[in-house]
Amino acid sequence: KALELFLAQGSQRLAGGVRAHVAELHLRMGNLDDALREAEEATRALEQVPHTRALALAVLALVHKERGDFPAALARSEEAIAILASSTGVDTGEGLIRLARAEILVAVKDPSAAEWIRDARARLLARAETITDERSRESFIAKVPEHARLMELALQHGQAGA
C-alpha cells in the first residue's frame, strides 16, 4: 500500500526507499528474482537521490552475490561505498552497505576482505559508543541483523567480539 501511495503521489524518493527495503526482505526470504526486480527498480527510482540510492545498491549487490554474479556484485557495492564516502553520505543503511562490501570481498576471496571487515567493525563499534544506554547499545550491535552479521563475520576472520 505504501508503495502504491508514493507512486500515485509521484514521490520517486519514497517509492525507491520502500522498494529497497522490499528487495532486502525478498533477499532474506531467498526470493532472488523478486529481490533483483525490486532492487533494480529502487536503484533506478533513486538515480537522483544518491544518499538513499546507496542502500538500494548494497541490496542489489547482495542479490547479485547470492545469484553468483560476482562482477556485478562488486560493481554495485563499489558504487554504494563511493556514495557512502562522498560528501552527500547516506540517510540510512550504512551498516548494510559496509556488510555487503565485506561479504562480497569474502566471497571473491579478495585479500583486502579482512582489512575491510576490521574497518567496518571499528566504525560500527564507534557508532555504538555514541549510544549512552548500555542495553540500547548492545541491542544496536546484536539485534540489528546487518550489525550482528558483521560482528559474526569479524569473528570468523579472527577479530575479537564487541
pLDDT per residue over 15-53, tens digit each? 788 899 999 999 999 999 999 999 999 999 999 888 889
pLDDT at 143 (0 to 100): 96
Euclidean distance between CA atoms 55 and 121, whole angstroms: 18
The confidence band for 90, taking pLDDT boundaries of 50, 70 and 90, is: confident
All three cell numbers of 43, joined, read 536503484
What average pLDDT score do residues 1-19 get?
69
Is pLDDT of 161 > 60? no
* Radius of gyration of the chain measured on its C-alpha atoms: 16
**pTM for this model (two decimals):** 0.88
